[in-house]
Amino acid sequence: MFNFLKKAIESFTKKAETKSKPESAVSAPQPSAKTEQPKELQKLEKKLGFLETVTKVITETKIAGEYFDKIFAALELELLQNNVAAEIVEKIRVKLREDLVGKSLKRGQVADIIKSDLRDMILYALEGPKPVDLIIAAKETKPLVILFVGVNGVGKTTSIAKTAAYLQKNGISCVLAASDTFRAASIEQLQAHADKLKVEMIKHNYGADPAAVAFDAVKHARARNIDVVLIDTAGRQHSNVDLMAELEKIKRVAKPNLTILSVDSLTGNDAVEQARLFNDKIGIDASIISKVDADEKGGTVISVVQATQKPILFIGTGQRYEDFEKFAPEKFVSKIFG
């Protein structure tokens, strides 16, 4: 999983090491004109100088700028095809150019520099603001109100259920708010999770005001001393004007402490566009990325952080409630590099 860079790195390294220019300043040492050396010593020095020259040509390389640009194009394409945002790719290009072009490097060093730079730049892209610890936040604010947003089909309702299971496991009580009163069977879907988890759910009829459902859920949590309110919302499309107006109203009424965007890792660049638009229109505090276990590319996770400058809270790694991990950038990057 996430080993999409392996072939690209190997190809880039091979080209850099086999076709780049050897160090040009290497030449056999010449005896000083002012110092006359015995002929045998001069022959020995000439022989040693030649060996030194050959050794450096074999073991050292110097990459020209024009050649770097040519061979980086393949790595750039690989990164873009695996959903790594163009802004990140450009930062990687600048860093690699700085560390490789015009430097006398031993051939084994080239691969190490490429891997190290890629790892550092991807890790840097992922390590933005630290995500809120839900357990600590739930103990400090009662009730902690969390609004979940995202388009249909990205696993938003499942992510809500997984969040509820995670909270329960840590001794935090919660109530679900069925504020998706638009999509057919959405209330029944959330109710099925509520029944399975044995948590309360506040619901109205289909077509009811979603903000009213959220308001009642918060009111219920305060009356029953419940720790966390998890609000489900309608999806539709992120470009839908009515949806955005509806979400803005829910935020005004429910006054959530956190707004969390749910996106599907497999949707690639569309997930990045969703993240950017929801953040611009509604404002998000963090993301949950679903179906990461099935994503062989991995660039979506990196690019969502880059697009929003907001942290990832959890990643979904399967269908079970326990297939839900707190996002750890170091661990994720390790998986990318196999």
What are the residue boundaries of the structural domains of the chain, listed by start? 6-126, 134-336
Cβ burial of 21 (10 Å; 0-12, 13-18, 19+) is: exposed
pLDDT tens column, 246-276: 999 999 999 999 999 999 988 888 888 899 9
Question: Do 6-126 and 134-336 come out as alike in CATH topology?
Answer: no
pLDDT tens column, 37-77: 566 555 555 545 544 544 444 456 778 888 888 888 888 88
Residue 157 in contact with residue 189, Cβ under 8 Å?
A: yes
| 26 pLDDT more than 70 | no
Residue 128 to residue 75: CA distance in whole angstroms: 25
pLDDT tens column, 277-328: 999 999 999 999 998 887 766 788 888 988 899 999 999 998 899 999 999 9
6-126 topology per CATH: Four Helix Bundle (Hemerythrin (Met), subunit A) (1.20.120)
Report pLDDT for 79. Answer: 85
* Planar angle of CA 250, 165, 181, nearest 5 degrees: 30
- Rounded (10°) angle between helices 6-19 and 107-126: 140
Give the range among 92-96, 98-102, 292-296 with minimum mean pLDDT. Answer: 292-296
Report pLDDT for 15. Answer: 72
- 289: nearest Cα among 307, 308, 304: 304
134-336 topology per CATH: Rossmann fold (3.40.50)
Residue 335 to residue 302: CA distance in whole angstroms: 13
Report pLDDT for 168. Answer: 97
Residue 52 to residue 59: CA distance in whole angstroms: 10
Residue 207: pLDDT band with limits 50, 70, 90: very high
pLDDT tens column, 114-146: 888 888 888 888 887 788 999 999 999 999 999
Average pLDDT of the residues in 101-118: 82
Residue 212: pLDDT band with limits 50, 70, 90: very high
- 175: nearest Cα among 158, 183, 159, 163: 163
pTM assigned to the model = 0.80
Instruction: List strands edge to edge, sheet with 174-179.
Output: 200-202, 174-179, 228-233, 144-149, 258-264, 286-290, 312-316, 324-326
In Å, the largest CA–CA distance within the chain is: 104
Residue 18: pLDDT band with limits 50, 70, 90: low
pLDDT tens column, 141-199: 999 999 999 998 888 999 999 999 999 999 999 999 999 998 889 999 999 999 999 99
| 218 pLDDT more than 50 | yes
Using CA atoms, how far residue 30 sits from 39, 40, 56, 118, 329, in Å, is 13, 14, 17, 42, 54
